[in-house]
Amino acid sequence: MIAKKYMNMKNRMSSQHSSHAVVIGGSIAGLLAARVLAEHFDRVTVIERDYYPDNPEPRSGVPQSNQGHFLLARGKQILEELFPGFVEELSEKGAIQVDITKDWVLLFEYGWWSCFSSDLTTWNCTRNLIENVIRKRLLNYTHLTFMEGHQVCELLASSDKREITGVRLKDSQGQESTLKANLTVDTSGRNSKAIQWLQALGYEKPQEQSINSFLGYATRWYQCPNHHQVDWKGINLMPKAPEFKRGGVIIPVEGNRWIVILSGIGGDYPPTNELGFLEFARSLRSPDIYEAIKDAQPLSPVYGYRRTENHLRHYEKLEKFPENFLILGDAVCSFNPVYGQGITVAALGALTLKSCLQQQKQNGVKLNLKGVSRRFQKQLAQVNNTPWLMATGEDLNWPTTVGGETSPIMKLIHFYMKYVKIVSCHDQRIQKIFTEVINMTKPSSALFSPNVFIPVLLRSLSNP
């Protein structure tokens, strides 16, 4: 008995001295951050306001979880790097492997893209399956704990407010408690309260940028029709600026289901009633989606979604920022979802955290957290920059978009990209490079390399 008491005391003491990281919000960004932190801390705690469903299902803390998600090829690569065997597990659970240039049928702004085999692959599945597989992998880490049904309501700080020392949280009955941490990471998404929490400690509000194309989604899940013989594993009918505001996507996912997303830009929101949804599908630039769903069996109501503005918080520019506190994922930068970037950018953020923590190790051994907060936010800002410019650059093609200016350089890029898009409809090589840039497996500079630039320039000169 005395021995047991002693052991408990010893465990408590050692846990008091062990290093502890806390993650606020356990969706994709939080789970990936936790995976990286688990390499460097004795204990990691993920605090999540929801209770996770056991199976891959939508949950209320992630309102976009009943919307279709496309996993970009770069995102897939990073998930496999962080969790070896990840894609095999997705496949066992019914995700569908796709050769992006062959299996996705795409009506681009200036015509249909060709379908040809390539090495550019990803998996079609729900966001919920991705989250579920990641979380189940993390359950194997014995030093990683999930506190479900707990909501963080405040940051704790040292008396001089220079360091974040943990969080105050509430359980589902409103019972408050505190949790001390050596490092606190906010991944609580688009509605993160980090700005208010920091302001309460006397920090300035960071600059924020918001660029809104007023895009709305209406999404419905269908049973994949048995009789429907198709040679595609995804359709994307894109809008065409400035006149054609409507687009639509079918993503086949696990469970023999289709997620059908209709979207309208510039406030041309798709209806969420049955008839209106079908009529909207019929009004797209091509009848393929309407034809595919008109007799299909719906599995869900129509889910609307309109919070789609690109939003960027410049924490990296703050003159003062506390030690031992990091922010990543949608909590820093969220995108118009139509470009499918969020999961991949969250994964890139986790890789940035990994390399940043590695750099903080003294002699490659002891982790020293001094300065990590500022260093990380600056590195993350660089990582976010390209996807931000890609998404907002596209949105600024629409005269109805609000926020952000179309600078002379942006006008030049729009002009150039118009001809990249035109040429890509006839030139598979350029289509492939463009697809790789969109999928973040190639840098955007690839679109300005001579083998793209010259044909694009020639085309623009022949038809200005």
Ligand X SMILES: Cc1cc2nc3c(=O)[nH]c(=O)nc-3n(C[C@H](O)[C@H](O)[C@H](O)COP(=O)(O)OP(=O)(O)OC[C@H]3O[C@@H](n4cnc5c(N)ncnc54)[C@H](O)[C@@H]3O)c2cc1C
Q: Which residues bind ligand X (CB under 6 A)?
A: 24-30, 47-50, 61-62, 64, 67, 69-70, 127, 151-152, 187-190, 217, 305, 329-331, 337, 340-344, 346
H, E, C per residue of the chain: CHHHHHHHHHHHHHHHHCCEEEEECCCHHHHHHHHHHCCCCCEEEEEECCCCCCCCCCCCCCHHHHCCCCCCHHHHHHHHHHCCCHHHHHHHCCCEEEEHHHHCEEEECCEECCCCCCCCEEEECCHHHHHHHHHHHHCCCCCEEEEECEEEEEEEECCCCCEEEEEEEEECCCCEEEEECCEEEECCCCCCCHHHHHHHCCCCCCEEEEEECCCEEEEEEEECCCCCCCCCCCEEECCECCCECEEEEEEEECCCEEEEEEEECCCCCCCCCHHHHHHHHHCCCCCHHHHHHCCCCECCCCEEECCCCEEEEEHHHCCCCCECEEECHHHCEECCHHHCCHHHHHHHHHHHHHHHHHHCEECCCEECCCCHHHHHHHHHHHHHHHHHHHHHHHHCCCCCCECCCCCHHHHHHHHHHHHHHHHHCCCHHHHHHHHHHHCCCCCHHHHHCHHHHHHHHHHHHHCC
| Least distance from ligand X to the Cβ atom of residue 308, Å | 7
Nearer to ligand X, 26 or 56 (CB): 26
Nearer to ligand X, 58 or 255 (CB): 58
Nearer to ligand X, 48 or 103 (CB): 48
Nearer to ligand X, 22 or 241 (CB): 22
Nearer to ligand X, 69 or 459 (CB): 69
| Least distance from ligand X to the Cβ atom of residue 67, Å | 4
Nearer to ligand X, 117 or 173 (CB): 173
| Least distance from ligand X to the Cβ atom of residue 27, Å | 3
| Least distance from ligand X to the Cβ atom of residue 413, Å | 23
Nearer to ligand X, 233 or 459 (CB): 233
Nearer to ligand X, 169 or 241 (CB): 169
| Least distance from ligand X to the Cβ atom of residue 307, Å | 6
| Least distance from ligand X to the Cβ atom of residue 305, Å | 4
Nearer to ligand X, 23 or 356 (CB): 23
| Least distance from ligand X to the Cβ atom of residue 43, Å | 18
| Least distance from ligand X to the Cβ atom of residue 183, Å | 16
Neighbours of 348 (CB within 10 A): 22
- The answer to whether the bond into 242 is cis (omega within 30° of 0) is yes
| Least distance from ligand X to the Cβ atom of residue 162, Å | 23
The residue nearest ligand X at its CB is 342
The token pair at 73 is 């090829």
